Amino acid sequence: MLAKMKDRRTIRKYTTQDISDSLLNELLEVATRASNTGNMQLYSVVVTRDQANKEKLAPAHFNQPMVKTAPVVLTFCADANRFVKWAEQRKAVPGFDNLQTFMAATIDAMLFAQCFCTAAEERGLGLCYLGTTTYNADKIIEALSLPRLVVPIVTVTVGYPEEIPEQPERLPLEAVVHQETYQDYVPESIDTLYRDKEALEANIRFVQENKKETLAQVFTDIRYTKANNEYFSEVFLKVLREQGFMK
Amino acid sequence: MLAKMKDRRTIRKYTTQDISDSLLNELLEVATRASNTGNMQLYSVVVTRDQANKEKLAPAHFNQPMVKTAPVVLTFCADANRFVKWAEQRKAVPGFDNLQTFMAATIDAMLFAQCFCTAAEERGLGLCYLGTTTYNADKIIEALSLPRLVVPIVTVTVGYPEEIPEQPERLPLEAVVHQETYQDYVPESIDTLYRDKEALEANIRFVQENKKETLAQVFTDIRYTKANNEYFSEVFLKVLREQGFMK
Protein backbone atom coordinates (compact mmCIF):
# COMPACT_ATOMS: atom_id res chain seq x y z
CA MET A 1 0.00 0.00 0.00
CA LEU A 2 2.88 2.40 0.62
CA ALA A 3 3.99 1.58 -2.92
CA LYS A 4 0.56 2.64 -4.18
CA MET A 5 0.63 5.88 -2.19
CA LYS A 6 4.10 6.63 -3.50
CA ASP A 7 3.04 5.94 -7.06
CA ARG A 8 -0.14 8.01 -6.94
CA ARG A 9 -0.92 10.87 -9.29
CA THR A 10 -3.76 13.31 -9.75
CA ILE A 11 -6.38 12.12 -12.24
CA ARG A 12 -8.26 14.73 -14.24
CA LYS A 13 -9.89 12.50 -16.88
CA TYR A 14 -12.44 9.87 -15.95
CA THR A 15 -14.24 7.06 -17.73
CA THR A 16 -18.03 7.15 -17.91
CA GLN A 17 -18.24 4.43 -15.21
CA ASP A 18 -20.23 5.63 -12.23
CA ILE A 19 -19.24 5.13 -8.59
CA SER A 20 -21.81 3.05 -6.72
CA ASP A 21 -23.41 4.46 -3.61
CA SER A 22 -22.20 1.46 -1.64
CA LEU A 23 -18.55 2.02 -2.62
CA LEU A 24 -18.77 5.76 -2.00
CA ASN A 25 -20.35 5.22 1.40
CA GLU A 26 -17.79 2.58 2.32
CA LEU A 27 -14.98 5.00 1.52
CA LEU A 28 -16.62 7.86 3.41
CA GLU A 29 -17.18 5.53 6.36
CA VAL A 30 -13.47 4.66 6.40
CA ALA A 31 -12.69 8.38 6.26
CA THR A 32 -14.75 9.10 9.38
CA ARG A 33 -12.05 7.11 11.21
CA ALA A 34 -9.63 9.98 10.62
CA SER A 35 -8.52 11.86 13.70
CA ASN A 36 -10.59 14.91 14.51
CA THR A 37 -10.81 17.59 17.15
CA GLY A 38 -12.10 16.17 20.43
CA ASN A 39 -14.30 13.72 18.49
CA MET A 40 -16.60 16.64 17.64
CA GLN A 41 -16.30 15.83 13.91
CA LEU A 42 -16.43 19.45 12.81
CA TYR A 43 -16.84 18.64 9.13
CA SER A 44 -19.39 17.79 6.47
CA VAL A 45 -19.20 16.69 2.87
CA VAL A 46 -21.67 17.49 0.13
CA VAL A 47 -21.93 14.85 -2.60
CA THR A 48 -22.79 16.18 -6.06
CA ARG A 49 -23.85 13.62 -8.67
CA ASP A 50 -26.62 15.49 -10.45
CA GLN A 51 -25.44 17.05 -13.73
CA ALA A 52 -27.42 20.25 -13.24
CA ASN A 53 -25.86 20.71 -9.83
CA LYS A 54 -22.37 20.12 -11.24
CA GLU A 55 -23.07 22.83 -13.75
CA LYS A 56 -24.06 25.17 -10.96
CA LEU A 57 -20.76 24.47 -9.21
CA ALA A 58 -18.57 24.68 -12.30
CA PRO A 59 -18.22 28.49 -12.57
CA ALA A 60 -17.08 28.63 -8.93
CA HIS A 61 -14.21 26.37 -10.02
CA PHE A 62 -13.43 28.56 -13.03
CA ASN A 63 -15.08 25.93 -15.22
CA GLN A 64 -12.33 23.38 -14.79
CA PRO A 65 -13.73 20.48 -16.86
CA MET A 66 -13.39 17.85 -14.09
CA VAL A 67 -16.35 19.34 -12.24
CA LYS A 68 -18.69 18.45 -15.08
CA THR A 69 -17.02 15.24 -16.25
CA ALA A 70 -16.34 13.43 -12.96
CA PRO A 71 -19.16 11.13 -11.82
CA VAL A 72 -18.85 12.45 -8.28
CA VAL A 73 -17.86 15.87 -6.95
CA LEU A 74 -17.23 16.14 -3.21
CA THR A 75 -17.16 19.45 -1.37
CA PHE A 76 -15.50 19.08 2.02
CA CYS A 77 -16.58 21.70 4.53
CA ALA A 78 -15.47 23.00 7.90
CA ASP A 79 -18.71 22.58 9.87
CA ALA A 80 -19.47 23.78 13.39
CA ASN A 81 -23.18 24.12 12.63
CA ARG A 82 -24.19 20.56 13.51
CA PHE A 83 -22.26 20.58 16.78
CA VAL A 84 -23.63 23.97 17.81
CA LYS A 85 -27.20 22.96 17.01
CA TRP A 86 -26.72 19.83 19.14
CA ALA A 87 -25.21 21.83 22.00
CA GLU A 88 -27.98 24.41 22.00
CA GLN A 89 -30.53 21.61 22.06
CA ARG A 90 -28.78 20.14 25.12
CA LYS A 91 -28.73 23.18 27.42
CA ALA A 92 -25.13 23.97 26.53
CA VAL A 93 -23.82 27.40 25.54
CA PRO A 94 -21.25 27.01 22.75
CA GLY A 95 -18.66 29.68 21.94
CA PHE A 96 -17.74 28.35 18.52
CA ASP A 97 -18.20 31.42 16.34
CA ASN A 98 -14.51 32.22 16.15
CA LEU A 99 -11.23 31.68 14.29
CA GLN A 100 -9.97 28.83 16.51
CA THR A 101 -13.09 26.82 15.82
CA PHE A 102 -12.70 27.57 12.13
CA MET A 103 -9.12 26.26 12.24
CA ALA A 104 -10.13 23.13 14.14
CA ALA A 105 -12.96 22.53 11.67
CA THR A 106 -10.65 23.11 8.71
CA ILE A 107 -8.17 20.59 10.10
CA ASP A 108 -10.99 18.10 10.70
CA ALA A 109 -12.31 18.57 7.16
CA MET A 110 -8.87 18.09 5.63
CA LEU A 111 -8.07 14.91 7.56
CA PHE A 112 -11.45 13.51 6.59
CA ALA A 113 -10.90 14.50 2.94
CA GLN A 114 -7.42 13.03 2.72
CA CYS A 115 -8.42 9.75 4.36
CA PHE A 116 -11.23 9.49 1.86
CA CYS A 117 -8.80 10.14 -1.00
CA THR A 118 -6.24 7.56 0.11
CA ALA A 119 -9.00 4.97 0.54
CA ALA A 120 -10.50 5.85 -2.86
CA GLU A 121 -7.16 5.51 -4.63
CA GLU A 122 -6.56 2.21 -2.89
CA ARG A 123 -9.80 1.03 -4.48
CA GLY A 124 -8.69 2.08 -7.96
CA LEU A 125 -10.42 5.45 -8.18
CA GLY A 126 -8.66 8.56 -9.40
CA LEU A 127 -9.15 12.06 -8.06
CA CYS A 128 -8.27 15.69 -8.31
CA TYR A 129 -8.23 18.32 -5.56
CA LEU A 130 -9.53 21.71 -6.66
CA GLY A 131 -7.84 24.62 -4.92
CA THR A 132 -10.50 26.99 -6.21
CA THR A 133 -12.86 26.24 -3.31
CA THR A 134 -11.49 28.90 -0.97
CA TYR A 135 -11.35 31.43 -3.83
CA ASN A 136 -15.05 31.26 -4.58
CA ALA A 137 -16.34 30.01 -1.24
CA ASP A 138 -19.17 32.57 -1.44
CA LYS A 139 -20.49 31.10 -4.70
CA ILE A 140 -20.18 27.54 -3.41
CA ILE A 141 -22.03 28.45 -0.21
CA GLU A 142 -24.86 29.68 -2.40
CA ALA A 143 -24.83 26.69 -4.78
CA LEU A 144 -24.87 24.15 -1.94
CA SER A 145 -27.07 26.12 0.51
CA LEU A 146 -24.41 26.02 3.24
CA PRO A 147 -25.71 27.58 6.47
CA ARG A 148 -23.92 29.74 9.05
CA LEU A 149 -20.84 28.09 10.61
CA VAL A 150 -20.19 26.02 7.48
CA VAL A 151 -17.40 26.98 5.02
CA PRO A 152 -16.27 24.92 2.02
CA ILE A 153 -12.53 24.20 2.19
CA VAL A 154 -11.65 21.87 -0.63
CA THR A 155 -13.36 20.10 -3.52
CA VAL A 156 -12.39 16.70 -4.87
CA THR A 157 -13.54 15.28 -8.20
CA VAL A 158 -13.59 11.47 -8.27
CA GLY A 159 -14.00 8.79 -10.91
CA TYR A 160 -12.34 5.84 -12.60
CA PRO A 161 -9.15 6.94 -14.37
CA GLU A 162 -9.36 7.35 -18.13
CA GLU A 163 -5.60 7.93 -18.36
CA ILE A 164 -2.60 7.69 -16.09
CA PRO A 165 -0.54 10.84 -16.56
CA GLU A 166 3.14 11.22 -15.72
CA GLN A 167 3.93 11.72 -12.09
CA PRO A 168 4.97 15.32 -11.46
CA GLU A 169 8.25 16.09 -9.71
CA ARG A 170 8.63 16.94 -6.06
CA LEU A 171 11.33 18.91 -4.29
CA PRO A 172 13.93 16.70 -2.61
CA LEU A 173 12.80 15.59 0.84
CA GLU A 174 15.34 17.81 2.61
CA ALA A 175 13.56 20.86 1.15
CA VAL A 176 10.52 20.26 3.34
CA VAL A 177 11.99 18.55 6.44
CA HIS A 178 13.77 20.43 9.21
CA GLN A 179 15.63 18.68 12.01
CA GLU A 180 14.89 20.00 15.53
CA THR A 181 14.50 23.65 14.51
CA TYR A 182 13.69 25.42 11.26
CA GLN A 183 16.86 25.99 9.26
CA ASP A 184 16.01 28.99 7.15
CA TYR A 185 16.96 28.87 3.48
CA VAL A 186 19.91 30.79 2.08
CA PRO A 187 20.55 31.54 -1.61
CA GLU A 188 22.80 28.48 -1.99
CA SER A 189 20.29 26.07 -0.48
CA ILE A 190 17.47 27.49 -2.63
CA ASP A 191 19.61 26.97 -5.73
CA THR A 192 20.39 23.40 -4.73
CA LEU A 193 16.84 22.44 -3.73
CA TYR A 194 15.19 23.88 -6.86
CA ARG A 195 17.88 22.83 -9.36
CA ASP A 196 16.29 19.57 -10.54
CA LYS A 197 12.82 21.11 -10.72
CA GLU A 198 14.06 23.97 -12.88
CA ALA A 199 16.04 21.66 -15.12
CA LEU A 200 13.07 19.44 -16.00
CA GLU A 201 12.21 19.50 -19.69
CA ALA A 202 8.50 19.99 -18.92
CA ASN A 203 9.20 22.98 -16.72
CA ILE A 204 11.56 24.58 -19.23
CA ARG A 205 8.83 24.24 -21.84
CA PHE A 206 6.31 25.66 -19.39
CA VAL A 207 8.44 28.80 -18.96
CA GLN A 208 8.81 29.22 -22.74
CA GLU A 209 5.12 28.67 -23.47
CA ASN A 210 4.27 31.33 -20.94
CA LYS A 211 6.92 33.69 -22.37
CA LYS A 212 8.56 34.13 -18.99
CA GLU A 213 12.17 34.31 -17.92
CA THR A 214 11.97 31.95 -14.91
CA LEU A 215 9.69 29.18 -13.67
CA ALA A 216 8.91 31.18 -10.54
CA GLN A 217 7.53 33.99 -12.72
CA VAL A 218 4.96 31.62 -14.22
CA PHE A 219 3.61 31.18 -10.71
CA THR A 220 3.76 34.80 -9.56
CA ASP A 221 2.74 36.49 -12.84
CA ILE A 222 0.21 34.02 -14.23
CA ARG A 223 -0.97 31.25 -11.92
CA TYR A 224 -1.05 32.82 -8.45
CA THR A 225 -0.84 36.56 -8.95
CA LYS A 226 -0.64 39.08 -6.15
CA ALA A 227 -3.80 40.80 -7.43
CA ASN A 228 -5.81 37.56 -7.43
CA ASN A 229 -4.44 36.41 -4.10
CA GLU A 230 -5.34 39.72 -2.51
CA TYR A 231 -8.75 39.97 -4.10
CA PHE A 232 -9.74 36.43 -3.11
CA SER A 233 -8.31 36.93 0.37
CA GLU A 234 -10.80 39.74 0.90
CA VAL A 235 -13.61 37.60 -0.43
CA PHE A 236 -12.64 34.77 1.92
CA LEU A 237 -12.36 37.04 4.95
CA LYS A 238 -15.84 38.32 4.15
CA VAL A 239 -17.04 34.71 3.93
CA LEU A 240 -15.55 33.92 7.34
CA ARG A 241 -17.35 36.94 8.81
CA GLU A 242 -20.66 36.18 7.14
CA GLN A 243 -20.55 32.50 8.09
CA GLY A 244 -19.97 33.52 11.69
CA PHE A 245 -16.36 32.48 12.31
CA MET A 246 -14.79 35.89 13.00
CA LYS A 247 -16.38 36.98 16.24
CA MET B 1 -5.45 -1.66 3.84
CA LEU B 2 -8.95 -0.19 4.01
CA ALA B 3 -9.57 -2.60 6.87
CA LYS B 4 -6.53 -1.17 8.66
CA MET B 5 -7.68 2.41 8.08
CA LYS B 6 -11.12 1.52 9.35
CA ASP B 7 -9.71 -0.15 12.43
CA ARG B 8 -7.32 2.66 13.33
CA ARG B 9 -7.27 4.46 16.65
CA THR B 10 -5.24 7.25 18.20
CA ILE B 11 -2.24 6.00 20.18
CA ARG B 12 -1.10 8.05 23.16
CA LYS B 13 1.28 5.57 24.81
CA TYR B 14 4.43 4.40 23.09
CA THR B 15 7.09 1.78 23.74
CA THR B 16 10.69 2.93 24.15
CA GLN B 17 11.52 1.68 20.64
CA ASP B 18 12.89 4.47 18.49
CA ILE B 19 11.86 5.16 14.89
CA SER B 20 14.80 4.83 12.53
CA ASP B 21 15.73 7.75 10.30
CA SER B 22 15.34 5.55 7.27
CA LEU B 23 11.76 4.58 8.16
CA LEU B 24 10.83 8.14 9.06
CA ASN B 25 12.26 9.47 5.82
CA GLU B 26 10.57 6.76 3.78
CA LEU B 27 7.21 7.73 5.30
CA LEU B 28 7.80 11.44 4.78
CA GLU B 29 8.85 10.75 1.19
CA VAL B 30 5.57 8.90 0.60
CA ALA B 31 3.74 11.86 2.12
CA THR B 32 5.29 14.31 -0.34
CA ARG B 33 3.21 12.49 -2.96
CA ALA B 34 0.08 14.03 -1.44
CA SER B 35 -1.73 16.54 -3.61
CA ASN B 36 -0.70 20.14 -3.02
CA THR B 37 -1.46 23.57 -4.41
CA GLY B 38 0.00 23.99 -7.89
CA ASN B 39 2.92 21.75 -6.92
CA MET B 40 4.31 24.64 -4.86
CA GLN B 41 4.51 22.39 -1.78
CA LEU B 42 3.60 25.16 0.65
CA TYR B 43 4.47 23.14 3.75
CA SER B 44 7.33 22.12 6.02
CA VAL B 45 7.68 19.69 8.88
CA VAL B 46 9.96 20.05 11.87
CA VAL B 47 11.16 16.75 13.36
CA THR B 48 11.81 16.83 17.11
CA ARG B 49 13.73 13.89 18.57
CA ASP B 50 15.94 15.65 21.12
CA GLN B 51 14.55 15.36 24.64
CA ALA B 52 15.45 18.94 25.57
CA ASN B 53 13.62 20.21 22.52
CA LYS B 54 10.57 18.11 23.36
CA GLU B 55 10.57 19.70 26.79
CA LYS B 56 10.66 23.12 25.19
CA LEU B 57 7.61 22.22 23.12
CA ALA B 58 5.65 20.54 25.91
CA PRO B 59 4.20 23.66 27.61
CA ALA B 60 2.86 24.86 24.25
CA HIS B 61 0.86 21.63 24.20
CA PHE B 62 -0.36 22.13 27.77
CA ASN B 63 2.13 19.45 28.85
CA GLN B 64 0.23 16.59 27.29
CA PRO B 65 2.55 13.67 28.14
CA MET B 66 2.85 12.36 24.56
CA VAL B 67 5.12 15.26 23.62
CA LYS B 68 7.79 14.06 26.03
CA THR B 69 7.22 10.31 25.75
CA ALA B 70 6.91 9.82 21.98
CA PRO B 71 10.20 9.10 20.21
CA VAL B 72 9.30 11.55 17.45
CA VAL B 73 7.25 14.75 17.50
CA LEU B 74 6.34 16.26 14.14
CA THR B 75 5.19 19.84 13.74
CA PHE B 76 3.50 20.34 10.36
CA CYS B 77 3.59 23.94 9.16
CA ALA B 78 1.95 26.06 6.50
CA ASP B 79 5.04 27.42 4.73
CA ALA B 80 5.18 30.07 2.01
CA ASN B 81 8.67 31.17 3.07
CA ARG B 82 10.63 28.71 0.93
CA PHE B 83 8.58 29.42 -2.18
CA VAL B 84 8.82 33.20 -1.72
CA LYS B 85 12.58 33.04 -1.16
CA TRP B 86 12.92 31.01 -4.37
CA ALA B 87 10.69 33.42 -6.31
CA GLU B 88 12.57 36.49 -5.13
CA GLN B 89 15.83 34.83 -6.12
CA ARG B 90 14.39 34.23 -9.60
CA LYS B 91 13.32 37.78 -10.53
CA ALA B 92 9.71 37.03 -9.62
CA VAL B 93 7.49 39.26 -7.47
CA PRO B 94 5.34 37.06 -5.22
CA GLY B 95 2.13 38.31 -3.60
CA PHE B 96 1.88 35.55 -1.03
CA ASP B 97 1.50 37.50 2.21
CA ASN B 98 -2.23 37.03 2.47
CA LEU B 99 -5.07 34.86 3.75
CA GLN B 100 -5.56 32.88 0.51
CA THR B 101 -1.94 31.77 0.57
CA PHE B 102 -2.31 30.87 4.22
CA MET B 103 -5.34 28.70 3.40
CA ALA B 104 -3.56 27.02 0.49
CA ALA B 105 -0.54 26.37 2.69
CA THR B 106 -2.73 25.04 5.50
CA ILE B 107 -4.44 22.65 3.09
CA ASP B 108 -1.04 21.54 1.74
CA ALA B 109 0.30 20.98 5.25
CA MET B 110 -2.74 18.94 6.26
CA LEU B 111 -2.69 16.69 3.19
CA PHE B 112 1.01 16.08 3.74
CA ALA B 113 0.43 15.35 7.46
CA GLN B 114 -2.45 12.96 6.86
CA CYS B 115 -0.62 11.03 4.13
CA PHE B 116 2.30 10.66 6.51
CA CYS B 117 -0.03 9.39 9.24
CA THR B 118 -1.78 6.81 7.05
CA ALA B 119 1.59 5.54 5.82
CA ALA B 120 2.97 5.43 9.38
CA GLU B 121 -0.01 3.47 10.67
CA GLU B 122 0.28 1.07 7.74
CA ARG B 123 3.82 0.39 8.96
CA GLY B 124 2.68 -0.37 12.49
CA LEU B 125 3.34 2.99 14.10
CA GLY B 126 0.81 4.70 16.33
CA LEU B 127 0.17 8.41 16.50
CA CYS B 128 -1.74 11.23 18.09
CA TYR B 129 -2.74 14.57 16.58
CA LEU B 130 -2.44 17.48 18.99
CA GLY B 131 -5.00 20.20 18.42
CA THR B 132 -3.10 22.54 20.70
CA THR B 133 -0.82 23.73 17.90
CA THR B 134 -3.05 26.56 16.70
CA TYR B 135 -3.75 27.59 20.31
CA ASN B 136 -0.13 28.25 21.14
CA ALA B 137 1.26 28.85 17.68
CA ASP B 138 3.21 31.83 19.03
CA LYS B 139 5.10 29.68 21.53
CA ILE B 140 5.78 26.98 18.94
CA ILE B 141 7.07 29.57 16.48
CA GLU B 142 9.54 30.64 19.14
CA ALA B 143 10.56 27.11 20.17
CA LEU B 144 11.17 26.00 16.57
CA SER B 145 12.53 29.32 15.21
CA LEU B 146 9.86 29.53 12.52
CA PRO B 147 10.43 32.54 10.24
CA ARG B 148 7.92 34.89 8.61
CA LEU B 149 5.37 33.14 6.33
CA VAL B 150 5.58 29.92 8.37
CA VAL B 151 2.79 28.98 10.82
CA PRO B 152 2.49 25.66 12.69
CA ILE B 153 -0.87 24.00 12.03
CA VAL B 154 -0.82 20.62 13.66
CA THR B 155 1.51 18.44 15.73
CA VAL B 156 1.68 14.66 15.58
CA THR B 157 3.39 12.46 18.15
CA VAL B 158 4.59 9.14 16.73
CA GLY B 159 5.94 5.89 18.16
CA TYR B 160 5.33 2.17 18.43
CA PRO B 161 2.06 1.49 20.29
CA GLU B 162 2.36 0.44 23.92
CA GLU B 163 -1.36 -0.25 24.10
CA ILE B 164 -4.29 -0.46 21.75
CA PRO B 165 -7.15 1.49 23.30
CA GLU B 166 -10.83 1.06 22.45
CA GLN B 167 -11.94 2.67 19.27
CA PRO B 168 -14.07 5.74 20.02
CA GLU B 169 -17.53 6.12 18.53
CA ARG B 170 -18.36 8.18 15.47
CA LEU B 171 -21.62 9.77 14.44
CA PRO B 172 -23.56 7.72 11.86
CA LEU B 173 -22.36 8.46 8.34
CA GLU B 174 -25.54 10.31 7.42
CA ALA B 175 -24.67 12.93 10.06
CA VAL B 176 -21.73 14.18 7.99
CA VAL B 177 -22.81 13.46 4.41
CA HIS B 178 -25.24 15.66 2.48
CA GLN B 179 -26.69 14.66 -0.90
CA GLU B 180 -26.59 17.40 -3.57
CA THR B 181 -27.23 20.30 -1.18
CA TYR B 182 -26.78 20.83 2.54
CA GLN B 183 -29.84 19.60 4.41
CA ASP B 184 -29.78 21.63 7.59
CA TYR B 185 -30.43 19.82 10.85
CA VAL B 186 -33.73 20.08 12.70
CA PRO B 187 -34.34 19.12 16.34
CA GLU B 188 -35.55 15.64 15.35
CA SER B 189 -32.52 14.86 13.17
CA ILE B 190 -30.14 16.10 15.88
CA ASP B 191 -31.82 13.81 18.40
CA THR B 192 -31.57 10.84 16.03
CA LEU B 193 -27.96 11.44 14.96
CA TYR B 194 -26.62 11.96 18.50
CA ARG B 195 -28.72 9.29 20.23
CA ASP B 196 -26.16 6.44 20.11
CA LYS B 197 -23.30 8.74 21.11
CA GLU B 198 -25.20 10.02 24.13
CA ALA B 199 -26.28 6.53 25.17
CA LEU B 200 -22.72 5.16 25.30
CA GLU B 201 -21.68 4.00 28.76
CA ALA B 202 -18.34 5.84 28.48
CA ASN B 203 -20.05 9.11 27.58
CA ILE B 204 -22.63 8.81 30.36
CA ARG B 205 -19.76 8.29 32.81
CA PHE B 206 -17.92 11.25 31.27
CA VAL B 207 -20.92 13.51 31.96
CA GLN B 208 -21.17 12.29 35.57
CA GLU B 209 -17.44 12.63 36.26
CA ASN B 210 -17.58 16.20 35.04
CA LYS B 211 -20.72 16.87 37.08
CA LYS B 212 -22.62 18.12 34.06
CA GLU B 213 -26.18 17.62 32.92
CA THR B 214 -25.46 16.81 29.25
CA LEU B 215 -22.54 15.55 27.17
CA ALA B 216 -22.58 18.75 25.12
CA GLN B 217 -21.97 20.75 28.31
CA VAL B 218 -18.72 18.86 28.92
CA PHE B 219 -17.51 20.26 25.61
CA THR B 220 -18.80 23.80 25.96
CA ASP B 221 -18.14 24.31 29.69
CA ILE B 222 -14.91 22.36 30.15
CA ARG B 223 -13.08 21.20 27.04
CA TYR B 224 -13.69 23.95 24.46
CA THR B 225 -14.97 26.94 26.36
CA LYS B 226 -16.10 30.16 24.77
CA ALA B 227 -13.51 32.11 26.80
CA ASN B 228 -10.64 29.89 25.67
CA ASN B 229 -11.80 29.77 22.07
CA GLU B 230 -12.03 33.55 21.96
CA TYR B 231 -8.75 34.17 23.73
CA PHE B 232 -6.82 31.75 21.49
CA SER B 233 -8.55 33.12 18.40
CA GLU B 234 -7.05 36.51 19.17
CA VAL B 235 -3.63 34.97 19.73
CA PHE B 236 -3.87 33.13 16.42
CA LEU B 237 -5.01 36.20 14.49
CA LYS B 238 -2.02 38.05 15.95
CA VAL B 239 0.22 35.18 14.82
CA LEU B 240 -1.18 35.37 11.27
CA ARG B 241 -0.47 39.10 11.22
CA GLU B 242 3.01 38.77 12.66
CA GLN B 243 3.96 35.92 10.35
CA GLY B 244 2.88 38.05 7.40
CA PHE B 245 -0.29 36.31 6.21
CA MET B 246 -2.86 39.07 6.81
CA LYS B 247 -1.85 41.77 4.36
Mean pLDDT calculated for residue range A139-154? 98
The whole-number pLDDT of residue B133 equals 98
Number of folded domains that form chain B? 1
Size of interface A-B (CB pairs under 8 A): 355
The whole-number pLDDT of residue A92 equals 98
What does the DSSP assignment read for chain B? -HHHHHT------B-S----HHHHHHHHHHHTTS--GGG---EEEEEE--HHHHHHHGGGGTT-THHHHSSEEEEEEEE-HHHHHHHHHTT------SHHHHHHHHHHHHHHHHHHHHHHHHTT-EEEEETTTTTTHHHHHHHHT--TTEEEEEEEEEE-BS--PPPPP---GGGTEEESS-----HHHHHHHHHHHHH-HHHHHHHHHTT-SSHHHIIIIIIS-HHHHHHHHHHHHHHHHHTT---
Over the stretch B128-184, which tens digit does the pLDDT of each residue have? Answer: 999 999 999 999 999 999 999 999 999 999 999 999 999 999 999 999 999 999 999
Q: Is residue A100 part of a domain?
A: yes
Decide if A220 and B153 are in contact by the 8 Å CB cutoff: no
Over the stretch B198-246, which tens digit does the pLDDT of each residue have? Answer: 999 999 999 999 999 999 999 999 999 999 999 999 999 999 999 999 9
Given B32, B79, B219, which is nearest A173 (Cβ)? B32
Decide if B100 and A223 are in contact by the 8 Å CB cutoff: no
Mean pLDDT of chain B: 98
Tally Cβ neighbours within 10 Å of residue B191: 14
Q: Is residue A217 part of a domain?
A: no
CATH number of the domain encompassing residue B21 = 3.40.109.10
Radius of gyration of chain B (CA): 20
Q: Is residue B178 part of a domain?
A: no
Q: Is residue B218 part of a domain?
A: no
Does the structure show a pLDDT above 90 at A174?
yes
Mean pLDDT calculated for residue range A204-210? 97
Best interface-test mutation with A: which of B110, B183, B237 has the largest number of A CBs within 10 A? B110
- What is the C-alpha to C-alpha distance for residues B122 and A134, in angstroms, rounded to an integer? 31
Cβ-Cβ contacts under 8 Å for B42 (sequence gap 6 or more): B36, B78, B79, B80, B83, B101, B104, B105, B108, B109
Q: How confident is the model at residue B17 (pLDDT cuts 50, 70, 90)?
A: very high
Contacts of B200 in chain A (CB under 8 A): none
Decide if B176 and A91 are in contact by the 8 Å CB cutoff: no
Best interface-test mutation with A: which of B47, B182, B230 has the largest number of A CBs within 10 A? B182
CB A118 within 8 A of CB B5: yes
Amino acid of residue A120? A
Over the stretch B102-117, which tens digit does the pLDDT of each residue have? Answer: 999 999 999 999 999 9
Whether B195 and chain A come into contact, CB under 8 Å, resolves to: no
Whether B92 and chain A come into contact, CB under 8 Å, resolves to: yes
Whether A169 and chain B come into contact, CB under 8 Å, resolves to: yes
Cα–Cα distances in Å, from B100 out to A14, B17, B57, B134? 29, 41, 28, 18
Mean pLDDT of chain A: 98
Q: Which residue of A has its CA nearest to B52?
A: A180
- State the smallest CA–CA distance between residue A70 and chain B in angstroms: 14
Whether B99 and chain A come into contact, CB under 8 Å, resolves to: yes
Strand order from edge to edge, sheet including A126-130: A126-130, A150-159, A72-79, A43-48, B177-179
Given B53, B101, B185, which is nearest A82 (Cβ)? B185
pTM score: 0.98
Q: Is residue A228 part of a domain?
A: no
Q: Is residue B75 part of a domain?
A: yes
Q: Is residue B143 part of a domain?
A: yes
Over the stretch B75-93, which tens digit does the pLDDT of each residue have? Answer: 999 999 999 999 999 999 9
Q: How confident is the model at residue B247 (pLDDT cuts 50, 70, 90)?
A: confident
Radius of gyration of chain A (CA): 20
Q: Is residue B208 part of a domain?
A: no
The whole-number pLDDT of residue A247 equals 87
Whether B138 and chain A come into contact, CB under 8 Å, resolves to: no
The whole-number pLDDT of residue A1 equals 76
Phi, psi of A41 (to 5 degrees): 50, 65
- Show the domain range for A12: 2-166
